[in-house]
Amino acid sequence: MIHARDSGSAEAAAQVRPLAAPIGVYLKGHAGDDYRLNRINRPNEYVKRPAITCGLAVQPDVMRGLIDKPGLRGWGLLARFFYSLPTSKVGFRDINAPTVPLEVIVAYSALVRAAIQIPTPLDEKDDPVPHVVRLSSEAWSELTAFREQVEIDLRASGSLSTLRD
């Protein structure tokens, strides 16, 4: 899902109480839990094992403002997104930067196309089955060490303390 900069998705998501159902879409879509929305005057909605991908490009001040919105942290909504707030390069950009080499563009395009064409496994009812990534013991050890460090960094005095949900 990609929103235009003025679509208001960040502000809309911050209106927790009236948008309990849409927030449920994000929560369920992140976990892959079945999503049901029962309505009184409109047809009900049901999505089996939803998967949601969001690409948002919003101003850093908007993102910082979401942290203080009541309910968003308690619902765990903010923890379901990956954030990147790089240091501004304004005033330091190379106005004569080289273009991306053609071979890099071609290789990247080929990788993206190959990823899109990976067949979706189906179960006996022809329902999609999630891909399972199996880690080697070395990769599992690396992941475990990373998760342990993140947990330490989430402590009140840690470098990720502001991201605690």
The model's pLDDT over 2-54, given as tens digits with 9 standing for 90+, comes to 444 444 554 554 444 444 457 778 888 888 888 888 888 889 888 888 888 87
The residue written with tokens 């979706």 in the block is 120
**Closest C-alpha to 34, from 122, 116, 44:** 44
**pLDDT 10s digits, 87-114:** 889 999 999 999 999 999 999 999 999 9
pTM of the model: 0.49
CA dist., res. 143 & res. 86, Å (int):
24
State the greatest distance between any 2 C-alpha atoms of the chain, in Å, as a whole number.
59
CA dist., res. 97 & res. 13, Å (int):
37
Give residue 114's pLDDT. 96
Q: Which is it for the CA torsion 152, 156, 162, 165, positive or negative? A: positive
| Long-range contacts of 126-131, Cβ-Cβ distance < 8 Å, separation of 24 or more | 127/48, 127/49, 128/49, 130/32, 130/49, 130/51
Q: Return all residues near 50 (Cβ < 8 A) that are at least 6 apart.
A: 25, 28, 29, 32, 33, 34, 35
Contact indicator for 34, 47 with CB cutoff of 8 Å = yes
**pLDDT 10s digits, 62-85:** 877 877 777 676 777 777 777 777
CA dist., res. 52 & res. 22, Å (int):
12
What tokens were used for 99? Answer: 């273009």
**pLDDT 10s digits, 121-155:** 899 998 888 888 899 999 999 999 999 999 999 99
For the chain, the domains span 1-83, 133-165
**Closest C-alpha to 65, from 14, 103, 127, 117:** 14
